[in-house]
Structure 1
Amino acid sequence: MSATTDVSLPARLSARDVTMRFGGLVALDNVSIDVPPRSVVGLVGPNGAGKSTLFGVLSGLLTPSAGTVTLDGTDITRTSARARARRGMARTFQHPELFTTLTVREHVVLADRVRHSGARLWTDAITGRGLRRPPADETARVDSLIDALGLGPIAHRRIGDLPLGSCRLVEVARALAVRPRLVLLDEPSSGLDVTETAELADVLQQVVATHDVSLLFVEHDVELVLRICDSVHVLDFGVKIAAGTPDQIREDPAVRAAYLGADVTPAQEAQS
């Protein structure tokens, strides 16, 4: 877990009494969640629990029927996903949305230019100049991020030639290149093997420790969530049934009944 988390500080992201209705279906019912600065927060629950709907509300893809969402104390409930990105929110997707013909480094460069030199990025695109020779400060930022995520050995390889685990890390790198204060991660371990999942966990913890960023992620791998999160929220049928530290979640009877009982065994608990 993050050693720098300070829950006494105002929440970086806060959702209060969020309700989402689709006709007569209540997908979320008065759900509240906080993501403190420099923290890793997990969101879990069985299929149909409302996790994706809550992510849509938090990221600006959905407008809630009721409730509020704030980012660093500013109400963003009805702002667009693009406006939230400008305020410091980034996200990844369950299925990596990368350009197969571009290299790892080119992805990070493009994201860096979105943040630091958008006008140049647009000019290069419409004039056909491509990625012109970068200034020294851009090179330093890109190199630092690539090194931090362990992507140096594959920096000049095309995305289409890389395994899924590496593509997941590239997505994280691209999200961080815009210097967000909060990153929403959608099923980051989906499709990864045990070794790749462990590498991803190490990277995510390192990111929080070195980049002054908070992470909120929806994840099906419960053990990953319980291993690296500072706090965990559990949804079931659109209702938040539990929230607390990983140890508290492990011991919660309602959570076991709804979701964790089939996934967390006594042997796994003994290894925690």
Structure 2
Amino acid sequence: MSTTDSAPARIEARGVSVRFGGLVALNEVDLQVPPASVVGLVGPNGAGKSTLFAVLSGLLRPSSGRVLMNGRDVTGASAQARARRGLARTFQHPELFAGLSIREHVVLAYRMRHARRRIWTDLVTAGAFRRAPAAEDRRVEEILAALHLDTRAHQPVAGLPLGTSRLVEIARALALDPTVLLLDEPSSGLDARETDELAATLTRVVAEHGVSLLLVEHDVELVLGLSDIVHVLDFGVGISAGTPDEVRVDPAVRAAYLGTAEELDAAAENSTDPERVVT
């Protein structure tokens, strides 16, 4: 994983504050997601992670501060406008269409990006999903295989386990061919093997397609092993930002967020274990 210092950040928060009446949810938070990088965002419940995600994705207007994408101010732009500029995100609680299959979710997302005029036909015309150009089929199959969803691609999403639903949502986001992807608790509901496979997939996405990732995640081991830069929030304030090694030894972070020294040392060992798939 690498960053490009000369290029503007794919997405950036500059001095972002959010107030709900007398409650300060975010207080002058700065965060950058450089090209082709993974940035982790950690902190306990109530730290402001979800609020910052909402601001970055255009679902919430900040009380002050700015949001930029590729150097352009998008603070007033809608979520749809930011999506057209290359932003995609997942949610903490997967939002899927119960009547569609796994593959149909990925196809719809692909067409939202590449063939928007087909969307209405897809939804109201029987058999629309079976009529696809070769380029679409190749890309959809590539995404499904990468997330190990290809063997159950035609299974309806209704009743899927939470972990599988999260993988479907990530697949749908990747089908939009984003330049920056905001991932909200992507490993929640996954077992250890699935988490390792997810980490490997995200690493390949960054390396092969140059996508930037902003990762909100309670799995400290995953964040430390996958991220180039980690930001830590405390009650809406950024208290630390740096490489995983720098954040790992920050006394305030060790005391307040990432657990005991033993837990952090174990995460450090696992993140460099040659048997792990993240590098």
TM-score, shorter chain, exceeding 0.5: yes
User: Shift of the alpha carbon at 1:109?
Assistant: 0.7
Q: Is the 8 A contact 2:86 2:180 kept in 1?
A: yes
Moved more, 146-155 or 227-236: 146-155
User: Shift of the alpha carbon at 1:8?
Assistant: 3.5
Q: Is the 8 A contact 1:19 1:28 kept in 2?
A: yes
Residue type of the partner of 1:228? L
C-alpha offsets along residues 170-198 of structure 1, whole Å, 9 cap, x if unaligned?
21111011111111111111122222222
2:182 corresponds in structure 1 to 184
Count of aligned pairs: 270
Change in 2 beyond 3 A, CA 1:243/1:79: same
C-alpha offsets along residues 33-92 of structure 1, whole Å, 9 cap, x if unaligned?
000001111100111111111111101111001100001111110111111111111100
User: Shift of the alpha carbon at 1:127?
Assistant: 4.8
C-alpha offsets along residues 191-227 of structure 1, whole Å, 9 cap, x if unaligned?
2222222221111111111222111011111111001
Structure-2 separation of matches of 1:111 and 1:202: 22
1:139 corresponds in structure 2 to 137
Instruction: Kindly report which structure 2 residues correspond to 1:106-255, keeping only aligned pairs within 5 A, or say none.
Output: 106-127=104-125, 130-160=128-158, 162-255=160-253
C-alpha offsets along residues 204-252 of structure 1, whole Å, 9 cap, x if unaligned?
1111112221110111111110010111000001110000010001000
Q: Once superposed, which parts of structure 1, at least 4 consecutive aligned residues long, lie more than 4 Å away?
A: 126-129
Q: Is the 8 A contact 2:221 2:270 kept in 1?
A: no
Q: Secondary structure at the match of 2:129?
A: coil
Q: Secondary structure at the match of 1:188?
A: coil
Q: Is the 8 A contact 1:124 1:132 kept in 2?
A: no
Structure-2 separation of matches of 1:242 and 1:138: 42
Identity %: 63
Structure-2 separation of matches of 1:48 and 1:69: 21
Structure-2 separation of matches of 1:251 and 1:163: 36
User: Shift of the alpha carbon at 1:257?
Assistant: 2.0
1:43 corresponds in structure 2 to 41
Unpaired segments ≥5 residues, structure 1: none
The CA RMSD over aligned residues, in Å, is 1.8
2:59 corresponds in structure 1 to 61
